[in-house]
Amino acid sequence: MEKTLSIVRYNPELDSQPHSQSYQVPVDNSTSVLDALLYIQEQLDPTLAFRWSCRMAICGSCSVMVNGIPKLGCKTFLRDYGDEVLLEPLAHFATEKDLVPDINVFLQHLQQVKPYLINPEQSEQPHKQSPQQLAKYRKFANCINCGLCYSACPQFGLNPEFLGPAALTLAQRYNLDSRDQGKAERMPELNGKNGVWGCTFVGFCSDVCPKHLDPAAAVNQGKVASATDFVISMFKP
Amino acid sequence: MQIIQTDVVIIGGGGAGLRAAIAAAEADPECRIALLSKVYPMRSHTVAAEGGAAAVTLPEDSLEQHFQDTVAGSDWLADQDVVDYFVSHAYQELVQLERWGCPWSRKADGTVQVRRFGGMKTERTWFAADKTGFHILHTLFQTSLKYPNIQRFDEFFVLDLLVAEQQVAGVLAMQLSTGELFHIQAKSVVLATGGAGRVFHYNTNGGIVTGDGMALAYRHGVALRDMEFVQYHPTGLPGSGILITEACRGESGVLLNKDGYRYLQDYGLGPETPLGQPENKCMELGPRDKLSQAFWHEQQKGRTGDYQGHAVVYLDLRHLGCDKLNERLPFICDLAKSYVNVDPQHQLIPIRPAVHYTMGGIQTDVQCHTAIQGLYAAGECASVGLHGANRLGSNSLTELLVFGKVAGMEAARHARQSRAVPEAALKAQCQEQLQQLQARFGERQKDTVAGLRREMTMAMEQGCGIYRDAAGMQQCLDTLQALKQRYQQLKVGDRSKVFNYELLQHYELGFGLDVAEAMCASALARRESRGSHQRLDAGMNSRNDSDYLQHSLASYQADGSARISYQQVNITKSAPAARLYGAAQSKEA
């Protein structure tokens, strides 16, 4: 059978604004949105621009809005949709071309939270870390940086300076790691005006996360840490 | 054209490239490092590695044993000085990753957990559930953010290496978001561009794995070594080729044919091990080449099943139970559910071999030097001499780290000691590339990039598959040469500058055709069977050490097929012997 994909296209060299273009694609029970996009690019229109690579939901490239909801193209199947499907570039990011968003702001936010282990000890042996200690942060270490949560986040939509779900989750991932000593270095950024308190706990970020790692929970754990940090700082000279 | 001056250029932001960048940054804080990648680093294909990374860890294990497993696994085509270096530096690199935060799976006492892997005598594979490559890549990427002297150029595509007087002088690259060209001048260049699995039709690789770096070096006269050795992973999903990790079998998963029979016992890997009690180097824990070959034989015998038109066998994980599957193989369960609608707790996963890994690559020595001064290569794009005719699972993630580090340090050292090549010498080369770029545009004719690419991948699948013969390979080579002719006339119709993927894929196809031809020509010239290169022709279906205990070297010829020559294998202590698995190796031990 066939379905109609309506794709919002934009070429900054030619178009003053985005416009929609429709394509008929053959689908079966296993056809993903990415499969359909590849079909269009290979068979119908080589000018269609979109990112992709692993096609197994781990590289985080092929994020796209499907009927208004942020999705990974490779893990979204057309069998679950009607005869017409609308594809748009990720919301809340500027669009570079067609379905390619400019995600540099997201990468800057990642960098801002110091997402690496901070621990000055040197050793030629591994740390010990119990499965329980690992379990505390492991879920939050599964973020594939696909950016869906930024498209779902109304706060990021209003204020692109807001660090946003994935960056705050990553900060929490390191803060919760028993091997890390960098929490104090991260807290100013998390406490700042674009940190955890920007989140109004809508929770849509967790709904759209393709890895189910619950960024809303991470952000709100961060609020507790931030509040604790504030109380402690009041009593410290 | 923008001109940028730096010290070290690293091409590729996957595991090897990031490890090289960090090594260079640590070796010399003054060293300016430009990390170029055609995708954001965390999209690199290292991300899809699942099973783990090998290093001698347990008290009952030894470097000697890891060495022996690797050399035997390679069918004695590995360079033994390289294997020595590798096994003795593996552990410290995995510890380094741990010190940088990699969430390795743990035992109850907090020490690092190791799992069984194919062809390995002892458990020595470190893992982070079944997303080891993902965690390694993200740990390296995040750690790289600490170093101010690493400057990233995300979504930059390298069109050419700039070389003058056999010395590298930088790269010419295109920024994909603007189409603008950048002449990046550097004293050292590290190629870390990954493999070339996408020159085959059915593969486990991401769309970006197109052999770019191999072709870049090859066209400048660096030999591609051992290119005939292409690894078919025994367990990919039918159709898509999505990888189902060997760790499934490490955790005791078994392979069944359509009759529910554990067929590996018929191929020198038995006797059958009891369900839930895997034995190292036996049955499902045999090496990948032998397992993929066993599938081929089952298919010949009509004992494979069918999944939507694809011949398949079945991976049985049901006996692992819910808890173990969730703890050790959660990603596999998710992939099986999403892509073949199977719940591994209750159902068999249909699987079949798919091209997975390019054992060969850019010829380097143990210090990652290529034949061009200042040019280094590491990771899957390189042939440092570690894998020979068959790579053991979980050796390549460790390879990225061990040799990524070496390449980064060597590149930084070289950059300190050498002077930049005068710019004038490079102008002509840049101009020529600019002209070649312009010549790619034109009215689209009957041929398309996607169409030619499909013909190439199908030809490779048919001619250079698990079993090969002279007629099939010759036909493949003829097809590739005809495709190269048609490629010369192939035009890019899209003239836009911003994210012109038709243009990008046009370049990638050109790179892929050169790499595919090197693979096929090397395979045709090797008139024996060894490791992953198996021939059906009479007189060539066994190993022939007297003539072919040698690396193949494919050299680029602008006007014809690759020229093949040979290089001695470095054998230091392990003389070639029979590869023993199953009962035979137990007896030996």
Would you call B138 and A49 a contact, using CB atoms and an 8 Å cutoff? no
Question: Which residues, listed in sequence order, are joined to residue A70 by a DSSP beta bridge?
Answer: A65
Residue-wise over B38-65: b if at least 16 C-beta within 10 A, else e?
bbbbbbbbbbbbbbbbbbbbeeebebeb
CB contact at 8 A, A21 and A9: yes
How far is it, in rounded angstroms, from Cα B311 to Cα B417?
56
Task: For residue B477, give the amino acid letter.
Answer: L
Tell me if the pTM is above 0.90: yes
DSSP state of A44: I
The residue of B35, B38, B47, B113 whose CB has the most chain A CBs within 10 angstroms, and thus the best one to mutate to test that interface, is: B47
Residue numbers in B near A79 (CB within 8 A): none
Please give, rounded to a whole number of angstroms, the shortest distance from the CA of B148 to a CA of chain A.
12
Structure tokens at A97: 């071309």
Task: Provide the annotated binding site of B.
Answer: 12-17, 37-52, 212, 233, 245, 356, 380, 391, 396-397
- The stretch A160-173 carries a mean pLDDT of 97
B146 touches chain A (CB under 8 A): yes
| Share of residues in chain B with pLDDT > 90 (%) | 96
d(C-alpha A211, C-alpha A175), whole Å: 20
Q: Strands, DSSP E only, in A79-229?
A: 84-88, 95-97, 100-101
CB contact under 8 A, A53 and B135: no
What is the model's pLDDT at position B560?
A: 79
Residue B382 has pLDDT above 70, yes or no: yes
B471 touches chain A (CB under 8 A): no
Has B288 been annotated as catalytic?
A: yes
pLDDT band of residue A236 (cuts 50, 70, 90) is low
Domain map of chain B by residue range? 234-354, 426-568
Q: What residues of chain B lie within 8 A of the CB of A136, using their CB? A: none
Which range is least confidently modeled, A172-186, B236-250, B414-428, B572-586? Answer: B414-428
- Residue A169: what pLDDT? 97
pLDDT at A216 (0 to 100)? 92
Has residue A125 got a pLDDT over 80? yes
- Residues of chain A contacting residue B494, judged by C-beta atoms under 8 Å apart: 46-47
C-alpha to C-alpha distance for A224 and B527, rounded to whole angstroms: 68
* Token pair in block for residue B388: 């020979």
Domains and CATH numbers, chain A: 2-101 (3.10.20.30), 104-235 (1.10.1060.10)
Mean pLDDT (whole number) for B346-360: 98
Query: Is 90 exceeded by the pLDDT of residue B112?
Result: yes
pLDDT of B425 reads 79
Note whether B42 contacts A145, CB cutoff 8 Å. Answer: yes
Cβ contact A56–B103 (<8 Å): no
What CA–CA distance (Å, rounded) separates B391 from B289? 9
From CA A231, how far away is CA B272, in angstroms rounded? 63
Residue B587, pLDDT > 80, answer no
Name the H helices within B241-313.
247-250, 288-300
Are B242 and A42 inside 8 Å of each other by CB?
no
Phi, psi dihedral angles at A32 (to 5 degrees): -90, 170
Q: How confident is the model at residue B517 (pLDDT cuts 50, 70, 90)?
A: very high
Average pLDDT, stretch A65-79?
A: 98
B interface test, pick of A58, A139, A178 with most B CB neighbours within 10 Å? A58
Q: Are A135 and A144 in contact (CB under 8 A)?
A: no
Amino acid identity of residue A177, one-letter, is: D
How many Cα atoms sit within 13 Å of B393 on the Cβ side? Answer: 40
Task: Pick the residue from chain B with its C-alpha nearest to A95.
Answer: B177
What pLDDT score does B532 carry? 98
pLDDT digits (tens, 9 = 90+) for B21-41: 999 999 999 999 999 999 999
Partners of A138 on chain B (C-beta within 8 Å) are 103
**What does pLDDT average to over chain B?**
97
Query: Which residues of B are part of a known binding site for FAD?
Result: 12-17, 37-52, 212, 380, 396-397
DSSP letter, residue A90: P
Could you tell me the pLDDT band of residue B404, with boundaries at 50, 70 and 90?
very high
Chain A positions in Cβ-Cβ contact with residue B449 (cut-off 8 Å): 46
> Which residues of chain A neighbour B135 with C-beta distances below 8 Å?
141
Residues B25, B172, B553, B526, CA torsion sign: positive
Interchain pair B103, A137: CB under 8 A:
yes
Which residues in chain B have Cβ-Cβ distances shorter than 8 Å to A170?
A: 142
CB B155 within 8 A of CB B177: yes
- Per-residue pLDDT for B402 more than 60? yes
Three-state SS for B412-473 is HHHHHHCCCCCCHHHHHHHHHHHHHHHHCECCCCCCCHHHHHHHHHHHHHHHCCCEECHHHH
**Region A109-137 average pLDDT:** 97
Q: What is the identity of the amino acid at B359?
A: M
B173/B181 Cα distance (integer angstroms): 6
Mean pLDDT, range B256-271, rounded to an integer: 97
- Tell me if chain A has a CB within 8 Å of the CB of B90: no
Is residue A19 within 8 A of residue A9, CB to CB? The reply is yes
For residue A102, the chain B residue with the least C-alpha distance is B177
**Looking at beta carbons, which residues of chain B come within 8 Å of A48?**
501
Of B243, B246, B275, B281, whose CA–CA distance to B262 is shortest? Answer: B275
How is residue B552 written in tokens?
A: 């193949």
Q: Which of residues 220-279 of B touch A (CB under 8 A)?
A: 239-240, 242-243
pLDDT digits (tens, 9 = 90+) for B216-226: 999 999 999 99
How far away is chain B from the Cα of A210, in angstroms, using its nearest Cα? Answer: 11
Q: For position A228, what pLDDT does the model report?
A: 80
CB contact B448 to A (< 8 Å): yes
Over residues A180-196, the mean pLDDT reads 95
DSSP B22: H
Catalytic residue among B32, B152, B262, B288: B288
Which residues in chain B touch residue A129, judged by CB atoms under 8 angstroms apart?
Answer: 106, 110
The DSSP-derived string for B76-105 is: T-S-HHHHHHHHHHHHHHHHHHHHTT----
Tell me which residues of chain B, numbers 402 to 441, contact chain A at a CB-CB cutoff of 8 Å: none
- Mean pLDDT score, B501-529: 98
CA torsion B284→B119→B16→B242, rounded to 10°?
-10
Put simply, the answer to whether B501 touches A41 (Cβ < 8 Å) is yes
CB atoms within 10 A of CB B253: 26
Residue B545 has phi, psi (to 5 degrees) of -70, -30
Top residue of A48, A59, A125 to mutate, by most chain B CBs within 10 Å, is: A59
Backbone angles phi, psi at B181, to 5 degrees: -95, 140
- Is residue B372 within 8 angstroms of chain A, CB to CB? no
- CB count in 10 Å sphere of residue B150: 20
pLDDT bucket at A197, cuts 50 / 70 / 90: very high
B545-586 residue pLDDT tens: 999 999 999 999 988 789 999 999 999 999 999 999 999 887
Which residues are CB-contacts of A162 (< 8 A; sequence separation ≥ 6)?
A: A153, A155, A156, A194, A198, A199
Predicted confidence band of residue B406 (pLDDT cuts 50, 70, 90): very high
Q: Residue B146: its chain A contacts at CB < 8 A?
A: 116
The whole-number average pLDDT for the span B362-367 is 98
- B501 — contact with chain A (CB < 8 Å)? yes
Among A47, A117, A131, the residue with its CB nearest the CB of B101 is: A117
CA within 13 Å, CB half, B525: 23
Check: CB of residue B232 under 8 Å from CB of residue B292: yes
Nearest CB partner across the interface for A60, out of B42, B109, B142: B42
Say how far apart CA B482 and CA B155 lie, in whole Å: 32
B334 touches chain A (CB under 8 A): yes
A53/B207 touch (CB, cutoff 8 Å), yes or no? yes
Closest CA of chain B from A155, distance in Å: 25
Distance from CA of B386 to the nearest CA of A (A): 25
Cβ A190 vs Cβ A222: under 8 Å? yes
- For A41, which DSSP code? I
Determine the average pLDDT of the residues in B495-506. 98
Q: Which stretches within A86-182 are classed as H helix? A: 104-112, 131-138, 148-152, 154-158, 164-175
Fold for domain B234-354? Flavocytochrome C3; Chain A, domain 1 (3.90.700)
Q: Which residues pair with B167 in a beta bridge?
A: B164, B373
Write out the binding residues of B for substrate: 233, 245, 356, 391
Say whether B47 and A54 touch across the interface (CB within 8 A): yes
How many CB pairs (< 8 A) connect A and B?
155
**CATH code, residues B426-568:** 1.20.58.100
Using the predicted structure, report yes or no on whether residue A237 has a pLDDT greater than 60: no
Q: Do B501 and A123 touch (CB under 8 A)?
A: no
pLDDT given at position B423: 77
Residue B573 to residue B447: CA distance in whole angstroms:
53
- Would you call the peptide bond into B271 cis, given omega within 30 degrees of 0 as the criterion? yes
Of A152, A225, A231, nearest in space to A195 by CA: A225
**DSSP H or E segment with residue B106:** none
Determine the Cα–Cα distance for residues B98 and B113; give it in Å rounded to an integer.
12
